[in-house]
Amino acid sequence: MADATPTTTPPIHVYVCRAKSCTRRGAAELAAALEATFAAQGLPARVLRHDCFDLCKQAPNVLVALPGREQHLYTQVHPKRAAHFAESLVEAARAATPETSPS
Ligand code: FES
């Protein structure tokens, strides 16, 4: 029997650098792939664009804000790894979400 429990995972905010070096190394494709992965899985995440993080030599760069956790900057996130990256963020968000029990 399928689990009918609604997801309680709070939203993930993902900020993809849109500046020159990151764009040249696939940031737009990365952002699109992240959005597609989150949408395909029905996951609560927002992919936003951000100005340069001043780590251009390590492009493309992504800042992630998971609920209840400090923000973390990921460097050299290749667009081909977007799906795996998105799934790891969702797992981390779910792990950070306290269990809720039915009342
Ligand atoms: S261009 Fe993305 S960190 Fe500078």
Residue 103 has which token pair?
């009342």
Is the four-CA dihedral 46, 47, 50, 55 of positive or negative sign? Answer: positive
How many Å lie between the centroid of ligand 1 and the Cα of residue 40?
28
Contacting residues for 26 by C-beta, under 8 A, at least 6 apart: 60, 78, 79
Residue 72 has which token pair?
């973390």
How many Å lie between the centroid of ligand 1 and the Cα of residue 66?
21
| Nearest atom of ligand 1 to the alpha carbon of 55 | 3
The answer to whether domain 12-95 has CATH 3.40.640.10 is no
Q: Which amino acid is at 65?
A: A
How many Å lie between the centroid of ligand 1 and the Cα of residue 99?
37
101, pLDDT greater than 60: no
Cα gap 38→59, rounded to integer Å: 22
Q: What percent of the chain has pLDDT over 70?
A: 83
What was the pLDDT predicted at 65?
92
Residue 64 has which token pair?
């992630």
Residue 67 has which token pair?
């609920």
| Nearest atom of ligand 1 to the alpha carbon of 58 | 3
Helix axes 27-40, 82-96, angle to 10 degrees: 50
Structural domain boundaries of the chain? 12-95
Beta strand residue intervals within 51-100, DSSP E: 62-65, 72-74
For a mutational test of ligand 1's pocket, the pick from 18, 21, 75, 76, i.e. the residue with the most ligand atoms closer than 8 A to its C-beta, is: 21
pLDDT tens digits, 29-70: 999 999 998 888 788 889 999 999 999 999 999 999 988 888
